[in-house]
Amino acid sequence: MDTNIRMQIEQTFLSLPREERETIISHGTAIRLSNLKKRLFLAESKVQHFEEQYKVTLAQLDDRGLPDDAGYEMHEDYIMWHHWAAVADKIK
């Protein structure tokens, strides 16, 4: 975001009555928390799907390595599995 625009927004926000600022922060926090919960649910669901599909946790797979006969799909899933695990960790 442009620095001038950010400063204008901050100045406008700070010029509001305290109660109004608290309401805005409260509502913004509730919306952000809701979005994070949805994203966490999605990420954890993806991780769980891979664990059920391959009957192993990502940590176990990382320790053992991919099987010698792992195909293209498993390699792709492994990359996505790491992605979703990282998303879940970041959100937590």
Q: Are residues 81 and 50 in contact, defined by beta-carbon separation less than 8 angstroms?
A: yes
- Tens of pLDDT, residue by residue over 18-71, are 999 999 999 999 999 999 999 999 999 999 999 999 999 999 999 999 999 999
Q: Structurally, how many domains does the chain consist of? A: 1
Domain range for 26: 3-91
For 3, 23, 27, 43, the CA distances from 14, given in Å and listed in that order, are 16, 13, 17, 36
Q: pTM for this one? A: 0.80
In whole angstroms, give the CA distance from residue 81 to residue 44. 10
pLDDT at position 2: 87
Residue type, 14: L
| Residue length of the chain | 92
* Cα dihedral across residues 27, 30, 36, 39: positive or negative: negative
